[in-house]
């Protein structure tokens, strides 16, 4: 039986990944409950056109549907040459989660509240966890990526369910959700830098990270961007930036090629 993935995952790099995960988890545990900010739902662009509340924030989620369906279409008969055939379930869940953001995030932006936000976050965690499993599979071991795919997906779902169940009107506890959202984004750059990829070039994955980082910046500049442009808010642009990140991964599936070293 091939246990090479285990050896690759438990050298100093694997220990660093496990140590970082443990350290971040313990830090969040020691921090105490982190409630959802009550002002989170007060987005800058509250313009409504026709019968669609918060129209631009709501309809900008269409970008997720388009790129998600494009990704699923690319996988309909197998994995393109820029991916690993064994990781098809992870790729499919990544794009399925993206496509689900159109109804779930759209639903949230129609009626912003913690109850609707939970559906938005469920779809996001599916994509986050599937992407992380894909990175583990491409850089450490396809077997490892597949073995962790469903545990990671279930962990993501649990984080959202826990937040909602812990919310007694005080915002609940976001610690598990913050862990599954941000820890992979902390670990993925380390994995890209230290584990050789089975697929090259890796720039497309860095582009995914870059667009995600820009999306978070735009989210925090929601009102200033709307004030500056008068047309679109930072949160609407966040949706487009995040969708472009997903599109970069789709392009990677077509443009990368297997790499076996020099």
| Domain around 145 | 53-258
**Would you say residue 17 lies in a domain?**
no
Number of structural domains in the chain: 1
CB-CB contact of 195 with 254 (8 Å): no
| Nearest partner of 7 among 133, 141, 136, judged by Cα | 141
CATH number of the domain residue 157 falls in: 1.20.1070.10
User: pLDDT tens-digit profile of 180-234?
Assistant: 999 998 999 999 999 988 899 999 999 999 999 999 999 999 999 999 999 999 9
**Would you say residue 6 lies in a domain?**
no
**Would you say residue 87 lies in a domain?**
yes
**Would you say residue 153 lies in a domain?**
yes
**Would you say residue 150 lies in a domain?**
yes
**Would you say residue 2 lies in a domain?**
no
Name the 3-class secondary structure at 199: strand
| Nearest partner of 179 among 110, 228, 125, judged by Cα | 125
| Nearest partner of 129 among 185, 174, 167, judged by Cα | 185
**Would you say residue 240 lies in a domain?**
yes
Residues 6+ apart with CB under 8 A from 96: 68, 72, 126
User: pLDDT tens-digit profile of 122-145?
Assistant: 999 999 999 999 999 999 999 999
Q: Strand locations in the chain, DSSP E?
A: 199-200, 257-258
Rounded to an integer, what distance in angstroms lies between the CA atom of residue 117 and that of residue 234?
A: 18
132 CB burial (10 A radius; 0-12, 13-18, 19+): buried
Rounded to an integer, what distance in angstroms lies between the CA atom of residue 173 and that of residue 24?
A: 16
Query: Would you state the pLDDT for residue 8?
Result: 53
**Would you say residue 45 lies in a domain?**
no
Query: Would you state the pLDDT for residue 207?
Result: 97
User: pLDDT tens-digit profile of 178-194?
Assistant: 999 999 989 999 999 99
User: pLDDT tens-digit profile of 34-90?
Assistant: 999 989 999 999 999 988 999 999 999 999 999 999 999 999 999 999 999 999 999
Question: Is the predicted pLDDT of residue 261 greater than 70, yes or no?
Answer: no
Query: Quick one: pLDDT band at residue 2, thresholds 50, 70, 90?
Result: very low
pTM above 0.85, yes or no: yes
Terminal Cα-to-Cα distance of the chain (whole angstroms): 27
């Amino acid at each position: 039986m091939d246990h090479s993935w285990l050896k690759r995952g438990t050298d100093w790099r694997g220990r660093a990944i496990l140590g970082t995960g443990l350290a971040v988890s313990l830090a969040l545990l020691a921090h105490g409950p982190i409630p959802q900010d009550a002002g989170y739902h007060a987005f800058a662009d509250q313009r409504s056109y026709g019968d669609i509340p918060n129209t631009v924030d709501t309809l900008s989620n269409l970008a997720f549907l388009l790129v998600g369906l494009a990704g699923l279409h690319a996988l309909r008969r197998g994995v393109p040459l820029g991916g690993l055939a064994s990781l098809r379930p992870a790729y499919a869940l990544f794009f399925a989660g993206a496509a689900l953001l159109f109804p779930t995030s759209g639903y949230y932006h129609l009626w912003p509240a913690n109850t609707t936000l939970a559906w938005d976050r469920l779809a996001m965690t599916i994509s986050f966890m599937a992407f992380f499993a894909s990175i583990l599979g491409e850089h450490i071991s396809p077997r490892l990526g597949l073995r962790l795919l469903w545990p990671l997906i279930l962990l993501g779902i649990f984080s959202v369910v826990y937040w909602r169940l812990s919310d007694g009107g005080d915002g609940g506890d976001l610690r598990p959700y913050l862990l599954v959202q941000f820890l992979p984004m902390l670990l993925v750059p380390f994995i890209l830098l230290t584990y050789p990829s089975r697929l090259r070039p890796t720039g497309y994955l860095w582009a995914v990270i870059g667009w995600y980082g820009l999306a978070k910046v735009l989210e925090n500049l929601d009102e200033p961007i709307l004030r500056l442009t008068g047309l679109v808010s930072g949160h609407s642009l966040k949706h487009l930036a995040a969708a472009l990140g997903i599109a970069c991964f789709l392009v990677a599936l077509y443009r990368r090629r297997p790499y076996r070293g020099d």
